[in-house]
A and B are shown apart, each in its own frame.
Chain A
Amino acid sequence: MAERMALTGNEAVAYAMMQINPDVVAAYPITPQTALMQKFADFVADGEVDTQFVLVESEHSAMSAVVGAAAAGARAMTATAANGLALMWEILYIAASTRLPIVMPVVNRALSAPINILCDHSDTMGARDSGWIQLFSENAQEAYDNTIQAVRIAEHRDVLTPVMVTLDGFIISHGLEVVEVLDKEAVQDFVGEYEPAYTLLDPEHPITFGPIDFSDYYMEHKRSQVDGIEAARRVIPEVGREFGKRFGRSYGMIEEHGTDGAEALLVALGSTAGSAKAVVDDMRERGLPVGLVKIRAFRPFPYEELREALGKAKAVAVMDRSISFGAQAGPLALEVRSALYGLSLPVRDYIYGLGGRNITLEEIEDILQEALEMAKTKEAEPLVKYVSVRE
């Protein structure tokens, strides 16, 4: 039976993992992921899963071990944050290039330096070219739902690409919410048995995994890899619809909230989208034509869906919780502008919330008010603004 429980985001994801009952989980602690693995460790200790739980000696080894396990045909998972994700960076690329359907929750936290344990998206954004599918969760319920769907997305025969399920550090990971935890059997049935496309453990068919390429083959291998993540454009909504039919909550690449008749649209990721929904509802009640487009899948980037959703508006405000140093704007804004290329639609980027700096409902309203101004004046200068930074 599905049960409504009061859980933190970390606990919700740990519940999802417990119900998935993967073959192998590698774990290394890092704030704010630690409580997630601790909760999973409790499940292991109580025999609620029979997962082989490996307490590795670094995140680099966590991803390395999980790559080895997945290559051996096991359903393998790990979880991390910030510098842990940064440490496993080279292996992320290897996992994606060798088409291993690994699922990894990432609890979004700022990258050093200075060291900061609080929420921002610099860690996940730093891995955006790694070939991993990246799903952003708005709240604990989504983090739970996304983790379950991620298994189906990753393991889909046309996709076979690892998936990173992100949840905002502390805001979601440590915030207590009411989460509907599904019936364990139903989750097991939804994710199904894992049937690996290939395995090291077939003595009749030994395979060589991870050869060296010279310039005669590398490009073809990379081109082939593109097909996998591109197939996710179709598979993510497919799985999301199936999840909706079974469990009542549907998911796609993006989510539109109050976009009907909206002249100014906000684009946001993660928990901020949740706050923005409240702001949008309030402003619309006051007759202001604003709306929100929440991005769930950042990779593959839903440029078609976004162009359609944003194209009807007159101005767009993007909220970026990370900086891409040296770039014209933040990572999300760059993608949004690229998606809107050719449309004469003013876009402004608001860099906010770095290192856990709080973003208030008032600040979000201010951003939307500015966007409404932009809709009238069509002026997008300056392109980038920093929210609540003391000059």
Chain B
Amino acid sequence: MSEELKGYRELPIGGLIVEPGNAVTYRTGTWRTFRPVWHEDKCIHCLFCWVYCPDAAVQVKDGKMTGFDYEHCKGCGICAHECPRDAITMEKE
């Protein structure tokens, strides 16, 4: 995020942003004080954690939960709170 700021001539006109989804380069993971920890043995892959994550930081592949995107996870704890099997616990970062 310590990129050099562009001069006005280098910017697209009209304040446009032409790179869709480039917010992904902004690491909101640094906001955390607690991090979710996945206990795979208890997980039933209901994907509630995935649907309720405000930051799309729960990784899913082929319909199964595979872990967390710690670059972006803000540690809100919703996933742990909603998990029906206590397969996620929040631990101090």
Contacts and interface: CB of A to CB of B under 8 A. Distances in A.
Q: Do A and B come from one complex?
A: yes
A98 B17 contact: no
Contacts, number: 52
B24 interface: no
A213 B15 CA distance: 8
A97 B17 contact: no
Contacts of B11: 217, 220-221, 224
Interface of B: 5-9, 11-18, 20
A198 interface: yes
Nearest to B12: A198
Contacts of A228: 13
A221 B15 contact: yes
Interface residues of A, number: 24
Contacts of A198: 12, 14, 16, 18
Contacts of A98: 14-16
Interface in A209-234: 209-211, 213, 216-217, 219-221, 223-225, 228
Q: Is the interface of B mostly helix, strand, loop or mixed?
A: loop
A337 interface: no
Nearest to A221: B15
Contacts of A225: 14
Contact of A97 (B8, B12, B15): B15
A220 B11 CA distance: 8
Contacts of A209: 14-16
B13 A99 contact: yes
Given A99-B14, A221-B8, 5 more contacts: A97-B15, A206-B20, A207-B18, A211-B17, A217-B11
